[in-house]
Amino acid sequence: MTYAAITGWGKCMPPAVLTNADLATFLETDDDWITTRTGMKERRISHVHAVEMAYVASMHALACAGLKATDIDLIVYGSCSFDEMVPNTASALQYKLGADGAAAMDVNTACTSFLYGYSTANAMVRTGVVKRALVVGVELISRYMDWDNRGCAVLFGDGCAAIVIEATEEKTGLLAETLGCYADARSILRVRGYGATYANANVTFGDMLWDFDGPQIFKKAVQGMTDASAKTLAKAGVAAEQIDLVVPHQANSRIIEAVAKYAGLPMEKVHLTVQKYGNMSAATVPVALVEALEEGRIKANAKLLMPAFGAGLTLCSHYVEWGERLTPKDVSNVELPPCEKTALELVDEIRAKKDVRGRSLAGIESAYYVDRKPYATR
C-alpha cells in the first residue's frame, strides 16, 4: 500500500512583532484582558505579500526534503487571505518557485485550510495521482482585519509554514483524519467586504467588517475539535494516552486546554505557540509542527494529533505518525527582505487607508445569506 511521508518542513515568520500594548494604543483593551482571556502576548504582522512568505517557507521545506522545485507534482495552498482571488495564489507560488509542471490549487476552509489541504494532497499521493506534493498554510490576515473591532482584532497574526510529502511504501504520515463543518452556524464568523458579493456593489475596496461571535465560536471550537479527535483516534485504533504530542490549531489557550482535558491529554503533551503568534489561521498548525521539530519535541516514530477549527464552521482532526528522520537534509538561505517598519506602523498604515476611504458596507450588511428554502419546482 502507498503512504505519504512528510519529508520536508519549513516556516517563514514575518519579523515585525505586534504586542498587546501596541493594540491598546488604538483599541479599548489591555494586556491583562488579552493575556487572561486568550493566552496571547504577541503576534506578527507581515510587510510582504502572502505569496512571499509562502515562497520562503516552501524553499526551506524543499531544501529540508533534499528536493528541487521541479520535483514537485502538486502545490496545495491553504489560506483564507489570498493576495488575489483570480488567478489563484497557488499558481503565483508555482511561478515564483519555478515548480514548472506542478498542479497548483488553493484550498480555503479558513483556519483548517492547511489540514484540509494536507488531506487533499495525502489522498492524491496515496492514490497515485501525484508522487510529491508541497502543502502550504499561509495567512496575511492583517490586511483584511477589521481593526476597529476589538473582539477579533486582538486575536490574529500573520505567518506561514509548508511541508513536502512523498509517496512511500512505509506506513507513515497521515493515517487517519476526520473532516466536518457546522454550516448551520456559518454566519457567526463572517468577513464582509471580501468576495464577489461585494464587488461592483458600491463597496469601497479595502472596507472590512467582521461578524465575530467569539463566545459562540469558542463553544463550537471546543465541541468540534473534541468530537473530531475522538473519531480520528477511533479510526486510527490509537488510545489518547498513546499520543506523544498534540499540535493543535491555536485560537485561544483556553480552547486548547478544554480540548486537551476532554481528550484526556495533559497539557505537557501539547505544543503551544499561541502566546507568541496568536491565531495565524491556516498557518497555525504547520508553524507549530515545524517549531516542535526544531525544538526536539517530536521524536522518531512519534504519534501526533492535530485538531483544528475555523470559519465555516469547519473542523477536523488529523492523526500522523512521524518517520525516522528529524533533521533537514539540506538548509536554504532564502529569507524575507528586511522590514523597515514596526508592526504598529504597518497596522497604522492599514487603518489609515480604511479611514480615508470610509465605510460603505452598512448598506449591504445582509446582502448575502444562504437559506435552506428549496428552489421552486416546475
Ligand X SMILES: CC(C)(COP(=O)(O)OP(=O)(O)OC[C@H]1O[C@@H](n2cnc3c(N)ncnc32)[C@H](O)[C@@H]1OP(=O)(O)O)[C@@H](O)C(=O)NCCC(=O)NCCS
34 or 260: whose CB is closer to ligand X?
34
Should residue 309 be labelled a site residue for ligand X when binding is judged by CB under 6 A? yes
| Window contacting ligand X (CB under 6 A); options: 26-34, 122-130, 169-177, 323-331 | 26-34
Should residue 218 be labelled a site residue for ligand X when binding is judged by CB under 6 A? yes
Should residue 154 be labelled a site residue for ligand X when binding is judged by CB under 6 A? yes
User: Shortest Cβ distance from residue 59 to ligand X (Å)?
Assistant: 29
Should residue 215 be labelled a site residue for ligand X when binding is judged by CB under 6 A? yes
CB of 99 closer than 8 Å to CB of 113:
no
309 or 322: whose CB is closer to ligand X?
309
Q: Is 249 a catalytic residue?
A: yes
Closest CA to 306 of 111, 82, 38: 111
Q: Is 279 a catalytic residue?
A: yes
CA-to-CA distance for 105 and 119, rounded, in angstroms? Answer: 13
Among 46, 229, 232, 279, binds ligand X (CB under 6 A): 279
Should residue 251 be labelled a site residue for ligand X when binding is judged by CB under 6 A? yes
26 or 218: whose CB is closer to ligand X?
218
CA-to-CA distance for 123 and 133, rounded, in angstroms? Answer: 11
CB of 160 closer than 8 Å to CB of 139:
yes
Report the phi/psi class of residue 251: left, alpha or beta, with left for phi > 0 and alpha for psi in -120 to 50: alpha
Out of 64, 80, 111, 152, pick the active-site residue. 111
Among 26, 151, 235, 351, binds ligand X (CB under 6 A): 151
Among 33, 95, 182, 262, binds ligand X (CB under 6 A): 33
Closest CA to 17 of 142, 146, 143: 142
Q: Produce one character per residue of 338-375: b if its CB has 16 or more CB atoms within 10 Å, e if not.
A: ebeeebbebbbebeeebeeeeeebeeeeeeeeeeeeee
User: Shortest Cβ distance from residue 36 to ligand X (Å)?
Assistant: 9
Question: Where are the alpha helices (H) located in 146-213, listed in sequence order?
Answer: 150-153
Count interface residues toward ligand X (CB under 6 A). Answer: 20
User: Shortest Cβ distance from residue 38 to ligand X (Å)?
Assistant: 5
31 or 244: whose CB is closer to ligand X?
31
What's the DSSP call for residue 206? T
Among 8, 9, 10, 38, binds ligand X (CB under 6 A): 38
Among 5, 217, 289, 343, binds ligand X (CB under 6 A): 217
User: Shortest Cβ distance from residue 213 to ligand X (Å)?
Assistant: 8
User: Shortest Cβ distance from residue 262 to ligand X (Å)?
Assistant: 16
Classify 41 as helix, strand or coil.
coil
User: Shortest Cβ distance from residue 156 to ligand X (Å)?
Assistant: 8
User: Shortest Cβ distance from residue 220 to ligand X (Å)?
Assistant: 9
Should residue 93 be labelled a site residue for ligand X when binding is judged by CB under 6 A? no
Joined together, the cell numbers standing for residue 203 give 463597496
Should residue 29 be labelled a site residue for ligand X when binding is judged by CB under 6 A? yes
Closest CA to 65 of 150, 128, 129, 133: 133
Closest CA to 139 of 112, 103, 179, 99: 112
Which residue type occupies 141?
I
Closest CA to 116 of 277, 285, 255: 285
Distance set, CA 367 to CA 37, 242, 323 (Å): 33, 49, 49
- Give the largest Cα separation in the chain, rounded: 64
Q: Is 149 a catalytic residue?
A: no
Catalytic residues: 111, 249, 279
Chain contacts with ligand X (rule: CB under 6 A): 29, 33-34, 37-38, 111, 150-151, 154-155, 214-215, 217-218, 221, 251-252, 279, 309-310
